[in-house]
Amino acid sequence: QVQLVESGGGLAQTGGSLRLSCAASGPRVSSYPLGWFRQAPGKEREFVASVSWDGGSTYYARSVKGRFTISRDTAKNAVYVEINSLKPGDTAVYYCADTNSGSAVPNRDGEYDYWGQGTQVTVSS
């Protein structure tokens, strides 16, 4: 059973930074990509970023590229996303997701099989 537990969310100011963490456990977690998604109030869940099983490849949504950095610690089975230059539009619940996909850095919701409970990020203007 794969388990994903996010942490690091909270209230932040516009222009600030946050680092979200996700602890992953379960069979073969270390062998597959991990991703981050977010869901803002009243909107559908959207892809944010993904990282390959070894951390060597990353992929970002166009809307966050340049401000978000995804990374992975394979020894700790953890994945992180650092968010810089926070904007009110970044306010959302952020989810960590695990996949058994053969794609190196999957970017579609349907490619992911397991989800964490989410961590709330609220950016004040």
Say whether pLDDT at 107 is over 90. Answer: yes
Strand duo 46-51 + 18-25: pairing: unpaired
Q: What is the pLDDT of residues 13-39, one digit of tens each?
A: 999 999 999 999 998 888 999 999 999
Task: Tell me the mean pLDDT in the region 43-69.
Answer: 96
Say whether pLDDT at 102 is over 90. Answer: no
SS3 for 32?
coil
Express as a percent the part of the chain with pLDDT over 90: 90
Residue 7 CA to residue 30 CA, distance in Å, equals: 19
What is the residue-averaged pLDDT of the chain? Answer: 95
Q: For the chain, state the CA radius of gyration.
A: 13
Task: Tell me the mean pLDDT in the region 102-107.
Answer: 92
In terms of Cα–Cα distance, which of 119, 121, 107 is closest to 35? Answer: 107
Task: Tell me the mean pLDDT in the region 64-86.
Answer: 96
Q: How confident is the model at residue 41 (pLDDT cuts 50, 70, 90)?
A: very high
pLDDT value of residue 125: 87
- The rounded Cα 5 to chain-centroid distance in angstroms is 11
